Amino acid sequence: MSHDLFEAARTAMGFAYAPYSKFPVGAAIRADDGKVYAGANIENISFPQGWCAEPTAIGAMIMGGAKKIVEIAVIAEKLPLCPPCGGCRQKIAEFASPSTRIYLCDETGVKETMTINELLPHSFKTEVIG
Ligand SMILES: [Zn+2]
């Protein structure tokens, strides 16, 4: 992973809106168009209405016109490793191939690299819908 993806995730974490959990998270995607799309978690006083950093980055990627996640970095300053939550794994899988790399970072850089297939080996999918 090039350093710019990590830096984008760390910068995005600084934009987190997390007044309730005080648990900022940043995510950065390198997409199939070669661009980096970043996002942070955005909470809400009605707690279930908040969302994670990964879907913010996915939304930016889609609105930027890209279609696929090539690689993604995730960072949370309060955890040595912040693997995406279950729901985010499914959201990432929607736009990834099984070998898409996920970089789990701390403040200094990448600490562990996994594929989406390792994180979510049995993602929901169906041939019926396509
Ligand atoms: Zn999540």
pLDDT in tens, 46-73: 999 999 999 999 999 999 999 999 999 9
At residue 129, the pLDDT reads 64
Q: What is the dihedral of CA 30, 31, 37, 42, to 10 degrees?
A: -100
Distance 127 CA to ligand 1 centre (A): 25
Q: Does residue 84 register a pLDDT over 90?
A: yes
Kindly tell me if the per-residue pLDDT of 36 is higher than 70.
yes
pLDDT of amino acid 130: 55
Query: Ligand 1 mean position to 84 CA, how many Å?
Result: 5
For the chain, counts of helices (H) and of strands (E):
4, 5
- Catalytic one of 7, 43, 54, 112: 54
pLDDT over 70, % of the chain: 98
Domain-by-domain residue ranges, the chain? 3-119
pLDDT at position 12: 98
Give yes or no: 54 in active site. Answer: yes
Q: Are 42 and 67 in contact (CB under 8 A)?
A: no
| Mean of the per-residue pLDDT values of the chain | 95
- The pLDDT tens digits of the residues spanning 100-125 come to 999 999 999 999 999 999 999 998 88
For 104, residues 6+ apart whose C-beta sits below 8 A from its C-beta are 74, 81, 82, 83, 110, 111, 112, 113, 114
Distance (Å) from CA 73 to ligand 1 centroid: 13
pLDDT at 61: 98
Position 33 scores a pLDDT of 98
CA distance 45 to 75: 23
d(CA 125, CA 103): 24
What average pLDDT does range 89-106 have in this prediction? 96
Dist CA 116 CA 96 (whole Å): 8
3-state per-residue secondary structure call for 33-81 = CCCEEEEECECCCCHHHCECHHHHHHHHHHHCCCCCEEEEEEEECCCCC
Compute, in angstroms, the gap from residue 53 CA to the centroid of ligand 1: 7
Instruction: Note the pTM of the prediction, 2 decimals.
Output: 0.94
Q: How far is the CA of 23 from the centre of ligand 1 (A)?
A: 12
Residue 39: how many other CB atoms lie within 10 Å: 27
CATH architecture of 3-119: 3-Layer(aba) Sandwich (3.40)
